[in-house]
Amino acid sequence: MQPYSISIVSRMLLVLLLVASSISPAWSQTVQKPKIVIIATGGTIAGTGNSSANTSAYQSAVVGVDKLIAAVPEIRSVADVKGEQIFQIGSESFNNEPLLKLAHRVSDLLKSKDVDGIVITHGTDTLEETSYFLNLTIKSDKPVVLVGSMRPGIALSADGPLNLCNAVVVASDKSSVGKGALVVMNDEIHSARDVTKTNSVKIDTFKSLYGPIGTVVESQVRYDRLPSRPHNLQSKFDIDKIQSLPEVNVVYTHGNMSRVPYDAFAAAGPKAIIYMGFGNGSVPDYIDGVLKEVRAKGVFIVRTTRTGSGSIVRNGETDDDKNDYMVIDDQNPAKARLLMALVLTKTSDTKELQKIFWKY
Ligand code: ASP
């Protein structure tokens, strides 16, 4: 074939493509749809029960990802979605093993140019922990959106289908890039750093101390605030370099505390205890000596609060400098556990640890 005839053929092809795209807008939209992977881990969003009146008594982690996606056909008009079933568990059963496996998978997927964002279906019980961990360790700006439901799919007024649809909308929206891991529930978009499950049964259980950072209503994504703490690309933690996490445990305080949990944890050899204290992380005089003993054995002590909000003031009622303790900022004890475990992969210097705690 002569060179000029190749150029005629390619021009004709170009014209054909342009005509096709103009007479078929659906076709041109298809090629532009974001590519979203939905990773399913279980939870109530994959739950089912015997009766539609059961909103709380049901079996969680049963329905597979393909069925979840098929139940919300609207998703396909928003994104090219692919489902992946990584586990089928209640999120209360998440320990470090599934957490790390999930984080590694998310990291690997996001390296592909064929993935624009990720939605993770997850039980609501530990959604805040998994999302916070991904927020700190995934080295990508692409959206990672976690979603769950409070009612199983079979229930009257099930919240899962709309939550899932909203999650895909948020993950597909360009304005979600660079905002850290997000939790989408009940039409709200929360920063993983701040969000907490606050109620055992209510649909509007997820709250952030400073409010949601945005909303998603009728497929419209609106952000009102930006997360300001280091996450993803600005974070110093990188999941690709983390294969295991040091053991960190939380001890709750109440009147008439026993020293038994401290002694047991210290004997089991954790790296740190998150002390979930009263008020400003305060320590009863009869536990004061126990904490000092545990610290002398090399276990780090991080003071946090059981109040549900507020930062811990260093060297207030407790002499943290003298005791070589650390205090958390305003993260809850479950998140303090994860942050401490991550920080310990970097340093064991308490001054340095404290600086990171205040920054993140
Ligand atoms: N136990 C369930 C879970 O966290 C509850 C839920 O998903 O809402 O997996």
DSSP string, 211-259: --SEEEETTEEEE-----S--GGGSS--GGG-S----EEEEE--TT--S
Ligand 1 pocket residue status of 90, Cβ below 6 Å: yes
Is 205 considered catalytic here? Answer: no
Of 54, 58, 121, 125, the one to substitute when testing ligand 1's pocket (max ligand atoms within 8 A of C-beta) is 125
Q: Is the CB of 125 under 6 A from ligand 1?
A: yes
Query: Ligand 1: does its nearest atom lie under 6 Å from the Cβ of 43?
Result: yes
Cβ atoms within 10 Å, residue 91: 25
Counting Cβ atoms within 10 Å, is residue 266 exposed (0-12), middle (13-18) or buried (19+)? Answer: buried
Question: What one-character DSSP code corresponds to residue 204?
Answer: T
Give, for 42, the enclosing helix (H) or strand (E): strand 35-42
Which amino acid makes up residue 132? Y
The C-alpha atoms of residue 79 and residue 62 are separated, in whole angstroms, by 25
Domain(s) of CATH 3.40.50.40: residues in the chain = 246-359
The confidence score (pLDDT) of residue 56 equals: 76
- The alpha carbon of 296 and the centre of ligand 1 are apart by a number of angstroms equal to 39
Spatial contact of 179 and 227, defined as CB atoms under 8 Å apart: yes
Please report the pLDDT score of residue 131 as a whole number: 98
pLDDT of 222: 98
Can you give the pTM of this predicted structure? 0.90
Tell me which of 91, 130, 149, 200 to substitute to probe ligand 1's pocket, judged by most ligand atoms within 8 Å of the beta carbon.
Answer: 91
Asked if 61 and 89 count as a contact pair (C-beta separation under 8 A), the reply is: yes
Q: Which amino acid is at 239?
A: I
Q: Which of 44, 124, 305, 318 is catalytic?
A: 44
Ligand 1 atom nearest to 93, measured from its CA = 9
Tell whether ligand 1 has an atom less than 6 A from the beta carbon of residue 152: no
Closest Cα to residue 150, out of 191, 199, 93, 94? Answer: 199
Spatial contact of 127 and 111, defined as CB atoms under 8 Å apart: no
Is residue 299 helix, strand or coil?
coil
> Any idea what the Cα angle at residue 271 is, between residues 269 and 274, rounded to 5°?
110
Name the DSSP class of 311: P
The residue whose CA has the least distance to atom 3 of ligand 1 is 123
pLDDT for 28 equals 47
Structure token digits, residue 149: 């439901």
pLDDT per residue of the chain (360 residues) written in tens, 0 to 9: 444 444 555 555 544 544 454 444 444 445 689 999 999 999 999 998 888 887 778 888 999 999 999 999 999 999 999 999 999 999 999 999 999 999 999 999 999 999 999 999 999 999 999 999 999 999 999 999 999 999 999 999 999 999 999 999 999 999 999 999 999 999 999 999 999 999 999 999 999 989 999 999 999 999 999 999 999 999 999 999 999 999 999 999 999 999 999 999 999 999 999 999 999 999 999 999 999 999 999 999 999 999 999 999 999 999 999 999 999 999 999 999 999 999 999 999 999 999 999 999
107 lines ligand 1 (CB under 6 A): no
Length of the chain as a residue count: 360
Which pLDDT score, from 0 to 100, does residue 1 have? Answer: 42
**How many other C-beta atoms are found inside a 10 Å radius of the C-beta of residue 84?**
13
In angstroms, the CA 205 to CA 151 distance is 12
Expressed in angstroms and rounded, the spacing between residue 126 Cα and the centre of ligand 1 is 8
Ligand 1 atom closest to Cα of residue 125 = 4
DSSP state, residue 93: G
The per-residue pLDDT for 72 is 97
Q: How far is the CA of 207 from the centre of ligand 1 (A)?
A: 16
Question: Ligand 1 centroid vs 112 CA: distance in angstroms?
Answer: 30
Report the separation in Å between the CA atom of 254 and the middle of ligand 1, taken as the mean of its atom positions: 26
Q: How far is the CA of 92 from the centre of ligand 1 (A)?
A: 7
Query: Which residue CA neighbors atom 7 of ligand 1 most closely?
Result: 123
Which residues have C-beta within 8 Å of that of residue 65, sequence separation ≥ 6? 38, 39, 40, 46, 83, 84, 85, 121
Closest ligand 1 atom to residue 89 Cα is: 9
Which atom of ligand 1 lies closest to the CA of 92? 4
Q: Give 91's DSSP letter.
A: G
Domain 35-234 sits in CATH at: 3.40.50.1170
Instruction: Supply the CATH classification number for the domain 246-359.
Output: 3.40.50.40
Distance 2 CA to ligand 1 centre (A): 67
Position 8 scores a pLDDT of 54
